[in-house]
Structure formats: structure tokens, C-alpha cells
């Protein structure tokens, strides 16, 4: 009897292997309506993508590869102003982490940001690191425009390289860096997105304001504006179109309804 049972089981297994049916007698292709069969990724859940980016769910950190991929999401034109603004616009809406943070002595929480992590200071004040990040992945060599995490120190470096112009003598254009602060000491930096002299308005893309990357409008003659880093042209690119026209067209193309522009506080 045992021999008969074993033979029956062997025959049944052979038939299953020959016909190769999926559970329920339906093939994998039929079961998925022509799509690739859905399989469970054999990846720990804390390493699975979250909101489209490779992130650790527990610490809200990102990989270096993801930062690199950010710079590949658009075609670099070699127009440094256009490429910088394109990269900055793509970051609007990013928020520092609420679950991964450090508290300072005063009990203030400083959340993790991709810009600080890239720079080497994940929980630091990050407006300058945000701009440095954008410069880097827009393809602007740091030998041309240096990177920095401190606004006042950055102004000094740019001044020595002949790239910094005080507000009273400046003619800002989209793609320039703008430094703001009090009593001629820079405490904040942003990227110029648009200049509207008729309305006396300067539209900026900035980081570390209310813990997000956002757009803001400042009065063009605001006393809080100390000066600008005038972004030079890429010497390897022949200027066939005025840079400001390219940048304005890009800003209009990338504008999204949810990118609200708020009136920034007057300094």
C-alpha cells in the first residue's frame, strides 16, 4: 500500500511540472492581466523606497546615489544660471525631517536634511548648504563658485574672488545668489528666481525658512539685502540666448500651482 501511495504522489508531481500551471490553473501572465507578475521584494521594510526615494524609514536618511540622481533629472545645458535655477526649482517643497532630529541646549529641534548630510553636517543650519548643494549638482565647479555652510564666511570668500557685489551697486539677475542679514553681516542666502523692477520685487528660492525649501518675495530695495554673488557665465558655452530669458522661460515651465509664493518678512 505504501508503495502505491508513493507512486501516485510521484505521478501527480510529474503532471504538475509538465503543465506548469499557476495556482487555480491560471498562468502567471494570465493572472496579472498581461503585466509582469507582482512579487514581494526581498528587501527589509526599513530599506524600501518611501515616497519615491531610497530612504530609511527609521532615520529619514537618503543615499549618496539619490543625491547624484537629482542632478540627472534634467538635461544640463551648460548655461550655469539656467541649470542652477532648474535644480533649485526641483527642490521646492522639500522639508527637513520631523522624526530624525537633534536638540540643542535651548531645546530647539534641528531636523536632518539631505543638504546637511551631503555637506557633512546633517543637523546644521542649512540655507547655505542648500545653495551649495544646488551649485554642485547643477554642474558649477566649486573652483568657480566655492561652497560654504556659513553665510558671512561665504561672502568673504566670494568678495576675494571678485564675485560679490553689494546691493547698492548690484544689477541682480535670475541665477545669482543673494545674501541677506542685518548690519552688513550676512545670515541667510538664497537663489534669485525672478527680478521685477516695475513691481520692486525679488523672487527667491530659499532653504531653511520654516524648515522647508520655498519661494518668497522680497522688496527689491529691502535693507535686509546685503549683496549678491554674480554667477559668471560658463566659458565653455557660447552665449546664443540671453541667460535671463532662458531662466525666465524655465521658471515658467516648471512652475507648479502648489508652489505658493508667500510675502517674506521685511528685515
Interval 95-107: pLDDT, tens: 999 989 999 899 9
- Rg (the chain; Cα; Å): 27
Which of 3-7, 61-65, 236-240 is predicted with the least confidence, judged by mean pLDDT?
3-7
pLDDT category at 242 given cuts 50, 70, 90 is low
Which of 192, 187, 142, 147 shows the shortest CA–CA distance to 171? 192
Looking up cell 541646549 gives 105
Interval 114-155: pLDDT, tens: 999 999 999 999 999 999 999 999 999 999 999 999 999 999
Is 187 in contact with 231 (CB distance < 8 Å)?
A: no
Distances in Å between the Cα of 8 and the Cα atoms of 1, 5, 256 are: 11, 5, 66
pTM, full prediction: 0.71
- Order across the sheet with 177-182: list the strands: 164-166, 225-229, 177-182, 185-196, 201-209, 212-219, 261-263
Amino acid at each position: 500500500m505504501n508503495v502505491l501511495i508513493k507512486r501516485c504522489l510521484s505521478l501527480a508531481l510529474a503532471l504538475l511540472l509538465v503543465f506548469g500551471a499557476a495556482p487555480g490553473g491560471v498562468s502567471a501572465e494570465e493572472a496579472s492581466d498581461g503585466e509582469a507578475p507582482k512579487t514581494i521584494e526581498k528587501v527589509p521594510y526599513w530599506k524600501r523606497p518611501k515616497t519615491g526615494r531610497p530612504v530609511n524609514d527609521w532615520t529619514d536618511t537618503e543615499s549618496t546615489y539619490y543625491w547624484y540622481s537629482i542632478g540627472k533629472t534634467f538635461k544640463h545645458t551648460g548655461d550655469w544660471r539656467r541649470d542652477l535655477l532648474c535644480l533649485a526649482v526641483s527642490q521646492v517643497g522639500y522639508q527637513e525631517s520631523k522624526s530624525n532630529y537633534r536638540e540643542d541646549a535651548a531645546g530647539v529641534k534641528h531636523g536632518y536634511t539631505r543638504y546637511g548630510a551631503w555637506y557633512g553636517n546633517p543637523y546644521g543650519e542649512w540655507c547655505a548648504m542648500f545653495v551649495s548643494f544646488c551649485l554642485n549638482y547643477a554642474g558649477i565647479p566649486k573652483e568657480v563658485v566655492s561652497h560654504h555652510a556659513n553665510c558671512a564666511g561665504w561672502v568673504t570668500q566670494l568678495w576675494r574672488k571678485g564675485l560679490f557685489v553689494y546691493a547698492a551697486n548690484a544689477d541682480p539677475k535670475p541665477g545669482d545668489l543673494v545674501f541677506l542679514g542685518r548690519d552688513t553681516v550676512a545670515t541667510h542666502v538664497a537663489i534669485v528666481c525672478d527680478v521685477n523692477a516695475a513691481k520692486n520685487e525679488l523672487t527667491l528660492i530659499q532653504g531653511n525658512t520654516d524648515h522647508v525649501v520655498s519661494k518668497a518675495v522680497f522688496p527689491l530695495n529691502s535693507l535686509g539685502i546685503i549683496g549678491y554673488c554674480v554667477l559668471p557665465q560658463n566659458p565653455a558655452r557660447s552665449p546664443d540666448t540671453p541667460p535671463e530669458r532662458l531662466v525666465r522661460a524655465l521658471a515658467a515651465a516648471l512652475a507648479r500651482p502648489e508652489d505658493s509664493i508667500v510675502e517674506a518678512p521685511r528685515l
